[in-house]
């Protein structure tokens, strides 16, 4: 009897060792091929209870489906996390390594589709196969537009994150009821005389956000890495059905956007009042600095503005054409948007750019993965110039992160400073400028010669002046009125957009512009005097 038990134990151990050996074999993507027009979807088993959430990662499987006729599936938008910190999951009986942050998301996300199918780039695309990536990455726009729903995973719950998410849900719902739905109305609402009683009623009901105890919790939520990840732009802009999930708490897209719009309105009202106080008390010396809480609002909300504006444009058939590659680079090169690889500064917008076919970007993706990022950036900028988007050259700044970039190619691998003309630029980059010192644009013909092989751009120019001296760079923390600059720069743009609608008397308009001009000029002059 004992011998039989020993034999059974030995057999059991042998089976376990064989199973363990089988499980440890790496997953081979060739077992789930993706023919042309197909994508892979991950089936994530349902956890029966909280303790078994981790078990769903031990019995996953991948399958290939046609993107034109897929089953219902959920797309996941998330932060990849540290690529050196990984864990293994079991797919089709084989082991696949994924980042720890993705593993946490897969254990936590709430799937509502019947088959529990999920598209997640780190798993559904073979990240080691550049040829496959060149085919699958351009499909991401279609994937997010086709998905039944998209989950924007902000990360695990932390101290007060549930409180912040619930506050966003409640204020967003109330804002929708008050007629605030998205950023289409923002520029109109910001004119003080157009603040409706409903908006003032919302502020009265929920309190002034800058003075509420919830503000640090909201700031911590918006400060999460998710909101600065470059790839999330198209992942949030393109889908029509998005849920933001932090821990176990979800907020729908409509409520989230309405809430952020409401908070942005509050901040802009504070800013307008602040600028008017400066005008009224200029004779009293330096104005008081912007309050710390207003600074928190500005720092954490304004990076979201271009994303939400792009979302409005994308879902408007007429305005979608304004989302050219030039426009997208302009919108996001001056914000804290981060891509792991410089090449992704272009690839991350393929799903949004309306002119990718015209510029031949789809055919260029394979070149992108088989060449240096500097060469690909040069190719793209050259084609943009050849297509007439010559104002891209305004974004050439120094120093550059790589000496391999030609002098005429902007370095979009790093955050840029706003050009002086950024407040008056047309969305498409120069076709409807508010001035024409060089004559009407319709009468100007520029002949470009772009040599892709030599990476050279030739064009006729007229030298009108030379720079003799360049002053010291203004440091945000050292300049006298440094805390005013972001507000004034942003207000310039708002004032320009609203100049006709406001219908201010001509003299008042001149005085307002004089104030804005003196504000930034005095910063530069005082900073230079301080250095002497």
SS (H, E, C) 272-316: HHHHHHHHHCHHHCCCCCCCHHHHHHHHHHHHHHHHHHHHHHHCC
Taking 70 as the threshold, does the pLDDT of residue 427 lie above it?
no
Q: How confident is the model at residue 391 (pLDDT cuts 50, 70, 90)?
A: confident
Alpha-carbon distance 310 to 314, whole Å?
Answer: 6
Q: Is residue 388 part of a domain?
A: yes
Q: Which of 52-66, 79-93, 218-232 has the lowest mean pLDDT?
A: 52-66
Q: What is the pLDDT of residue 140?
A: 92
Based on the fold, state whether residues 220 and 275 are members of the same structural domain: yes
At residue 289 the predicted structure's pLDDT band, cuts being 50, 70 and 90, is low
For residues 452-471, average pLDDT: 80
Q: Are 254 and 389 in the same domain? A: no
Banded model confidence at residue 312, pLDDT cuts 50, 70, 90: confident
Q: How many domains does the chain have?
A: 4
The whole-angstrom separation of Cα 31 and Cα 212 is: 55
Q: Does pLDDT of 487 surpass 70?
A: no
- Lowest mean pLDDT, pick from 332-336, 450-454, 487-491: 487-491
At 284 the pLDDT is: 57
pLDDT of the residue at 53: 56
Between 490 and 212, where is the model more confident? 212
Closest CA to 414 of 476, 353, 490, 345: 345
DSSP-assigned beta bridge partners for residue 242: 150
Rg of the chain in Å (alpha carbons)? 27
**Which range scores top for mean pLDDT: 143-147, 322-326, 472-476?**
143-147
The residues with which 94 forms a beta bridge, in sequence order, are: 91
| Lowest pLDDT segment from 37-51, 57-71, 386-400, 500-514 | 500-514
pLDDT score recorded for residue 389: 80
Rounded to an integer, the average pLDDT of 344-372 is 81
* pLDDT band per the 50, 70, 90 thresholds, residue 499: very low
Which range has the worst mean pLDDT, 14-18, 202-206, 306-310, 332-336?
14-18
Using an 8 Å Cβ cutoff, are 251 and 169 in contact? yes
Q: Please answer whether residues 149 and 241 qualify as being in contact, where contact means their C-beta atoms are separated by less than 8 angstroms.
A: yes
Q: Where is the domain boundary, 147, 177, 196?
A: 147
- Provide the 8-state DSSP code for 483: G
- Please give the order of strands across the beta sheet that includes 61-66: 61-66, 38-43, 117-119, 74-77, 149-155, 242-246, 249-252
Mean pLDDT of the chain, nearest integer? 76
CB-based contact 387:399 (threshold 8 Å) = no
Q: Is 389 part of any domain?
A: yes
- pLDDT-derived band at 452, boundaries 50, 70, 90: confident
- Tell me, yes or no, whether 63 lies in a domain: yes
Together in a domain, 113 and 168:
no
Whether the pLDDT of residue 99 is over 80: the answer is yes
- Establish if 8 belongs to a structural domain: no
pLDDT the model gives residue 475: 59
- Give me the count of residues in the chain: 532
Tell me, yes or no, whether 297 and 349 share the same domain: no
**Quick one: 487 and 394 in the same domain?**
no
**Where does the pLDDT of residue 505 fall: very low under 50, low under 70, confident under 90, or very high at 90 and above?**
very low
Query: What does the alpha-carbon distance between residue 340 and residue 329 come to, in Å, rounded to a whole number?
Result: 16
Report the pLDDT averaged over residues 217-236: 91
Check whether 98 has a pLDDT greater than 90: yes
Query: Which residues does residue 62 pair with via DSSP β-bridges, in sequence order?
Result: 42
Residue at 317 is within a domain: no
Q: What is the domain range of residue 203?
A: 161-240+250-310
pLDDT at 438: 57
In-domain check, residue 236: yes
Q: How far apart are the first and last CA of the chain?
A: 98
Q: How far apart are CA 353 and CA 348, in angstroms?
A: 10
> Does any domain span residue 322?
no
pLDDT at 504: 41
Are 395 and 438 in the same domain? yes
**Is residue 185 a part of any domain in this protein?**
yes
**How high is the pLDDT of residue 40?**
97
- Residues 279 and 168 grouped into a single domain: yes
Question: pLDDT at position 516, please?
Answer: 45
The answer to which of 212-226, 251-265, 325-339 has the lowest mean pLDDT is 325-339
The pair of three-digit structure tokens given for residue 412, joined into one six-digit string: 């979009």
Q: How far apart are CA 293 and CA 219, in angstroms?
A: 10
More confident residue, 190 or 330: 330
Q: State how far the Cα of 490 lies from the Cα of 301, in Å rounded to an integer.
A: 13
* Contact present, 99 and 79 (Cβ < 8 Å): no
Q: Helices marked H in 31-94 — which ranges? A: none
Other Cβ atoms within 10 Å of 406 Cβ, number:
16
Q: Which helix (H) or strand (E) holds 21?
A: helix 2-24
With contact defined as beta carbons under 8 Å apart, do 217 and 304 qualify? no
| 173 and 235 both lie in a single domain | yes
How would you classify residue 440: left for phi > 0, otherwise alpha for psi between -120 and 50, otherwise beta? beta
pLDDT of residue 8: 46
208 in the same domain as 72: no
Using CA atoms, how far residue 145 sits from 92, 225, 253, 352, 357, in Å, is: 27, 24, 15, 11, 18
Please indicate, yes or no, whether residues 424 and 303 belong to a single structural domain of this protein: no
DSSP code, position 23: H
Q: What is the 3-state secondary structure (H, E, C) of 127-175?
A: CCCHHHHHHHHHHHHHHHHHCCEEEEEEECCCCCHHHHHHHHHHHHHHH
Work out the pLDDT band at 385, boundaries 50, 70, 90: confident
DSSP string, 358-420: HHTHHHHHHHHHTS-HHHHHHHHHHHHHHTT-GGGGGG--SS-S-TTS-TTS--TTSPPPPPT
CA distance readout (Å), 195 to 191, 198, 354: 7, 8, 34
Tell whether the model's pLDDT for residue 520 goes beyond 60: no
Are both 380 and 346 inside the same structural domain? yes
Biggest alpha carbon–alpha carbon distance for the chain: 107
pLDDT band at residue 271 under the 50/70/90 scheme: confident
- The residue-averaged pLDDT of 165-174 equals 95
Choosing from 458, 493, 514, the residue where a domain stops is: 458
Least confident of 79-93, 106-120, 130-144, 480-494: 480-494
Q: Are residues 180 and 139 in the same domain?
A: no
**CB within 8 Å of 319: residues ≥ 6 apart:** 312, 313
């Amino acid at each position: 009897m004992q011998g039989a038990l020993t034999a059974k134990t030995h057999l059991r151990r042998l089976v376990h060792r064989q199973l363990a050996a089988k499980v440890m074999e790496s997953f081979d993507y060739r077992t789930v091929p993706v023919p042309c027009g197909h994508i892979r979807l991950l089936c994530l088993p349902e956890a029966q209870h909280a303790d078994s959430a981790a078990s769903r990662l031990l019995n996953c499987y991948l399958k290939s489906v046609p993107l034109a006729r897929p089953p219902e599936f959920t797309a996941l938008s998330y932060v990849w996390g540290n690529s050196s910190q990984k864990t293994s999951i079991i797919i089709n009986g084989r082991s696949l390594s994924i980042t720890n942050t993705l593993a946490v998301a897969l254990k936590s996300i709430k799937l509502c589709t019947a088959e529990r199918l999920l598209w997640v780039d780190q798993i559904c695309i073979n990240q080691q196969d550049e040829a496959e990536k060149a085919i699958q990455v351009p499909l991401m726009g279609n994937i997010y537009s086709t998905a039944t729903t998209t989950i924007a995973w902000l990360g695990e719950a932390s101290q007060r994150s549930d409180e912040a998410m619930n506050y966003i849900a409640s204020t967003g719902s109330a804002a929708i009821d008050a007629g605030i739905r998205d950023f289409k109305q923002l520029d109109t609402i910001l004119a003080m005389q157009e603040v409706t009683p409903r908006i003032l009623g919302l502020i009265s009901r929920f309190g002034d956000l800058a003075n509420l105890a919830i503000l640090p919790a909201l700031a911590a939520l918006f400060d999460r890495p998710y909101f600065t990840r470059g790839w999330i732009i198209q992942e949030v802009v393109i889908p029509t059905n998005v849920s933001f999930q932090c821990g176990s708490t979800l907020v729908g897209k409509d409520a989230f956007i309405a809430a952020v719009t409401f908070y942005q309105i509050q901040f802009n009202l504070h800013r307008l009042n602040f600028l008017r106080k400066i005008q009224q008390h200029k004779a009293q010396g330096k104005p008081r600095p912007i309050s710390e809480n207003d600074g928190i609002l500005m720092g954490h909300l304004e990076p979201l503005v271009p994303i939400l504006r792009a979302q409005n444009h994308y879902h408007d058939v007429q305005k979608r054409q304004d989302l050219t590659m030039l426009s997208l680079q302009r919108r996001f090169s001056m914000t804290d948007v981060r891509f792991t690889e410089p090449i992704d500064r272009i690839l991350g917008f393929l799903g949004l750019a309306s002119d990718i076919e015209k510029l031949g970007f789809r055919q260029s993706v394979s070149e992108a993965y088989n060449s240096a990022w500097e060469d690909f950036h040069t190719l793209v900028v050259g084609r943009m110039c050849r297509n007439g988007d010559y104002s891209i050259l305004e974004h050439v700044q120094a120093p550059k992160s790589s000496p391999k970039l030609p002098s005429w190619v902007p370095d979009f691998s790093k955050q840029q400073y706003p050009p002086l003309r950024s407040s008056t630029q047309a969305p498409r980059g120069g076709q409807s400028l508010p001035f024409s010192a060089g004559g009407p644009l319709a009468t100007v013909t520029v002949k470009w010669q772009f040599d892709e092989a030599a990476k050279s751009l030739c064009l006729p120019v007229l030298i009108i002046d030379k720079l003799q001296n360049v002053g010291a760079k203004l440091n945000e923390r050292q300049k006298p009125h440094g805390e005013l600059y972001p507000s004034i720069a942003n207000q310039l743009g708002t004032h320009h957009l609203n100049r006709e609608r406001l219908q201010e008397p001509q003299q008042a308009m001149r005085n307002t512009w004089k104030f804005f001009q003196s504000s930034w000029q005095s910063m530069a002059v005082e900073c230079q005097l301080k250095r002497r």
